[in-house]
Structure 1
């Protein structure tokens, strides 16, 4: 494998690998769609967590996706309390999806992150959320699951 002089090449490749897994779970060829859906998932889940839990989860992400995770974050305003309707509305608006598309998209990202995160990390995040959100995030994937 040729060596790259680009100091960011590894970070970019890792982010692309994660995005490819999300794209595969979504069953989509559109890389921009996969990015929007992943970004929406990261932001709406992040805002539901405490500062400490969000930072702990972010440490599991590749460098470039960690930047996406923290983009626009205001730790003074978290955790934001919203249930399924609020989650769906935020997710749909951020990802450019209809509300009806959110459950499948959110579950696809959860499944992808379950494969990519360190063992137990995603399960820890899910345990911090209300059961109604966990059900939405894991629809079709057997409820709570460890990564």
Structure 2
């Protein structure tokens, strides 16, 4: 039986839980921490992207995650001038204040990998290309490290 009685709500809760489960594989079995990590990274990413690209990314997110993504967004300050990986990770760390301690790099990679797994590859490519090289390379290295090895190619 459906939890809410509305398929769109049940589907977004189910999809969001899948995303959180993927994040928890890296940061540990704490759904609240995974939710905070998801929000902190999405906000840092959203605020760094050019406006049009940020909106296109938001449109690709599940309804519940989309609400988190747009929460407390101030379009007039878009895009932030985070140029280095350290600045980006510091922005994520600020978003993680008030949660249990976790490795900011691991949490960031977990969320970026989850995005890359669930969002259209063309959109992920556009988002990555809009980031400074150091941040883009961090994301790509994290994806390569998480890729299964020795499997049959497509």
TM-score, normalising length: structure 2: 0.80
Instruction: Name stretches of at least 5 consecutive residues in structure 1 with no aligned partner.
Output: none
Match of 1:142 in 2: 144
Counterpart of 1:47 in 2: which secondary structure? helix
> 2-side partners of 1:117 and 1:64: how far apart?
15
Match of 1:16 in 2: 17
Q: More helix by proportion, 1 or 2?
A: 2
Instruction: Report which stretch shifted further, 125-134 or 97-106.
Output: 97-106
Match of 2:67 in 1: 67
Match of 1:122 in 2: 124
* 8 Å contact kept, 1:110–1:138: no
> 1-side partners of 2:87 and 2:45: how far apart?
12
> What RMSD in Å do the two structures reach over aligned CA positions?
2.5
> 1-side partners of 2:93 and 2:126: how far apart?
24
1:5 CA displacement? 5.2
1:3 CA displacement? 4.4
Match of 1:91 in 2: 92
Instruction: Report which stretch shifted further, 84-93 or 32-41.
Output: 84-93
Match of 2:5 in 1: 6
Counterpart of 2:82 in 1: which secondary structure? coil
Count of residue pairs the alignment pairs up:
142
Instruction: Report which stretch shifted further, 94-103 or 57-66.
Output: 94-103
> 2-side partners of 1:117 and 1:130: how far apart?
20
1:85 CA displacement? 2.6
Counterpart of 1:142 in 2: which secondary structure? helix
* 8 Å contact kept, 2:27–2:102: no
